[in-house]
């Protein structure tokens, strides 16, 4: 499951207190389903949601579970319910590697830290370095609220997004997952957000509605032109020496980029 999480393009949130949506979400084109016990569930519904998630996982279904953050009244119960059967745990408000290490001792799967606070951004490399981390995710809405900026502003959150990309690369983790686009019915906005994130180095997207999945999967899948370019680069570099292709120097970093494109394309077929 960690390999799937590391390469997945789309992650669809489903409220944990809506079991009527679980099967439909699992059958959707989302690469990964996230059963949410945190923001999507009101405080009075946490116990019920936990029971539904526990029952779904007990039937052998695959899912990531977003638990409530460390320090909240529901955190420990969430881990007890989902830590064993869940294939991975998403930890919101990730700020401290020691907290992730403590959680990892109680869960059987990997961890996706949701980096969505100023302290989390500052500590991003240390967070990603935790051995249990498969891949980080970026939370734009909570961070924007803390900073007092518009969560839709690419400029305001540019540095924060790039910090998460750099942290993932520096620690050898899979490229990060970008935060949600709240405009559910605005595909143009979704595509703009995706293009911006991809340019920065993100390779996945958190989605809040099934209508967002097709566009996200399409944008996050290497285009035919990029795949052709990658094949041409690999062929040109077959001799092992620095060479030139279409007027551009081809050396090891370019070859690595081409290999990454082909690996991403392979995962989607």
Going along the chain from its start, the domains and CATH numbers come out as 2-220 (3.20.20.60), 224-267 (no CATH)
CB 206 within 8 A of CB 137: yes
How many whole angstroms separate alpha carbon 208 and alpha carbon 205? Answer: 10
**Which is nearest to 219 in space by CA: 234, 235, 203, 206?**
203
Q: Spell out the alpha helix ranges (H) of 71-148.
A: 75-82, 97-104, 118-122, 124-128, 140-147
Q: Which two tokens stand for residue 229?
A: 């370019």
Residues 130-151 have a mean pLDDT of: 98
- Amino acid 225: pLDDT: 73
Over the stretch 16-31, which tens digit does the pLDDT of each residue have? 999 999 999 999 999 9
pLDDT over 70 (residue 151): yes
CB 165 within 8 A of CB 137: no
Kindly indicate the confidence band of residue 74, based on its pLDDT and cuts at 50, 70 and 90: very high
**Which region among 56-60, 109-113, 245-249 has the lowest average model confidence (pLDDT)?**
245-249
Kindly indicate the confidence band of residue 2, based on its pLDDT and cuts at 50, 70 and 90: confident
**Which is nearest to 92 in space by CA: 75, 109, 77, 73?**
75
Residues 54-82 have a mean pLDDT of: 96
- Amino acid 114: pLDDT: 98
Query: What's the CA angle centered on 165, arms 157 and 120, to 5 degrees?
Result: 65
How many whole angstroms separate alpha carbon 178 and alpha carbon 201? Answer: 10
Q: Which two tokens stand for residue 142?
A: 């909570």
CB 134 within 8 A of CB 110: yes
- Amino acid 222: pLDDT: 77
pLDDT over 60 (residue 93): yes
Task: Please state, rounded to an integer, the average pLDDT across all residues of the chain.
Answer: 92
pLDDT over 60 (residue 269): no
Please state, for a pLDDT cut of 70, what percent of the chain lies above it: 94
How many whole angstroms separate alpha carbon 53 and alpha carbon 46? Answer: 11
DSSP 8-state assignment for residue 62: -
Residues 232-244 have a mean pLDDT of: 76
Per the model's pLDDT, the better-predicted residue between 235 and 84 turns out to be 84
Backbone dihedral region of 251: left (phi > 0), alpha (psi from -120 to 50 degrees) or beta? beta
pLDDT over 80 (residue 189): yes
- Amino acid 257: pLDDT: 67
Kindly indicate the confidence band of residue 267, based on its pLDDT and cuts at 50, 70 and 90: low
Residue with tokens 């998630």: 53
**Which is nearest to 107 in space by CA: 1, 193, 26?**
1
**Which is nearest to 115 in space by CA: 105, 106, 107, 125?**
125
CB 101 within 8 A of CB 133: no
How many whole angstroms separate alpha carbon 225 and alpha carbon 255? Answer: 16
Kindly indicate the confidence band of residue 256, based on its pLDDT and cuts at 50, 70 and 90: low
């Amino acid at each position: 499951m960690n390999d799937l999480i590391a390469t997945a393009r789309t992650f669809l949130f489903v409220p944990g207190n809506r079991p009527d949506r679980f099967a439909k979400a699992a059958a959707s084109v989302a690469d990964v389903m996230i059963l949410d016990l945190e923001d999507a569930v009101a405080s009075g519904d946490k116990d019920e949601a936990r029971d539904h998630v526990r029952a779904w996982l007990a039937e052998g279904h695959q899912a990531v579970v977003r638990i409530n953050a460390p320090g909240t009244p529901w955190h420990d119960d969430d881990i007890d319910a989902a830590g064993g059967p869940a294939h991975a745990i998403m930890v919101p408000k990730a700020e401290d590697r020691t907290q992730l290490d403590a959680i990892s001792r109680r869960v059987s799967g990997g961890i996706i830290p949701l980096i969505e606070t100023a302290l989390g951004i500052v500590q991003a490399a240390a967070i990603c370095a935790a051995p249990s981390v498969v891949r980080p995710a970026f939370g734009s809405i909570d961070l924007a609220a803390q900073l007092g900026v518009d969560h839709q502003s690419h400029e305001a959150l540019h540095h924060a997004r790039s910090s998460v990309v750099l942290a993932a690369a520096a620690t050898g983790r899979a490229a990060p997952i970008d935060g949600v686009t709240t405009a559910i019915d605005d595909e143009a906005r979704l595509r703009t957000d995706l293009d911006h994130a991809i340019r920065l180095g993100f390779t996945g997207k958190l989605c809040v509605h099934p209508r967002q999945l097709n566009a996200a999967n399409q944008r996050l899948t290497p285009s035919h032109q990029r795949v052709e370019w990658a094949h041409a680069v690999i062929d040109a570099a077959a001799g092992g020496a620095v060479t030139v292709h279409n007027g551009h120097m081809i050396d090891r970093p370019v070859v690595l980029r081409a290999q990454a494109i082909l690996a991403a394309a392979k995962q989607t077929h």
